[in-house]
Amino acid sequence: MPAATTGVKARKFRGEVFITEDRCKECGFCIEFCPPKVLEFSKEFNRHGYHPPILVNEAGCTGCDLCGLYCPDFAIYGLRVPVESPAATASAAGVSPLGNDASGVERVRQGGGI
């Protein structure tokens, strides 16, 4: 008798979001156009008095980067990180696979869902 299958496929990628909060002008494009609707406005203010987005459903982010494509201020982008890769390991340790931001602007990594 063949072994039963669960029907659950392991994902090869997971999504992560990087947000430079102080660049955000609160236009809401990233929240509006995120396909799985995993972003919301933070209740906190950035240094210019705007509410930046936060990731409210880490597992739902696919890393599609539509948020990055629509953001007029380059304040957010998404990445698809291979699961079980060196990049995923570095990312899990809080290090961006893209390296340090030469601008010196602090970026906030959010996500890591499957």
Contact region with ligand SF4 (CB under 6 A), list: 5-13, 60-68, 85-93, 99-107: 60-68
Build a one-symbol-per-residue string for 5-24: x at contacts with ligand SF4 by CB under 6 A, - elsewhere. ----------x-x------x
Distance CA 49, CA 111 (A): 24
106 binds ligand SF4 (CB under 6 A): no
Max Cα-Cα span within the chain: 65
Nearest to ligand SF4 of 78, 91 (CB atom)? 78
* Buried residues in 49-77 as b, exposed as e (16+ CB within 10 A): ebbbbbbeebebbbbbbebbebbeeebbb
DSSP 80-102: EEETTSHHHHHHHTT--TT---T
What single DSSP character describes residue 60? G
Among 14, 18, 42, 53, binds ligand SF4 (CB under 6 A): 53
Of 3 and 105, nearer to ligand SF4 (C-beta) is 105
Which residues of the shown chain bind ligand SF4 in the complex (CB under 6 A)? Answer: 15, 17, 24-30, 34-36, 38-39, 52-53, 61-67, 70-71, 73, 75-76, 78
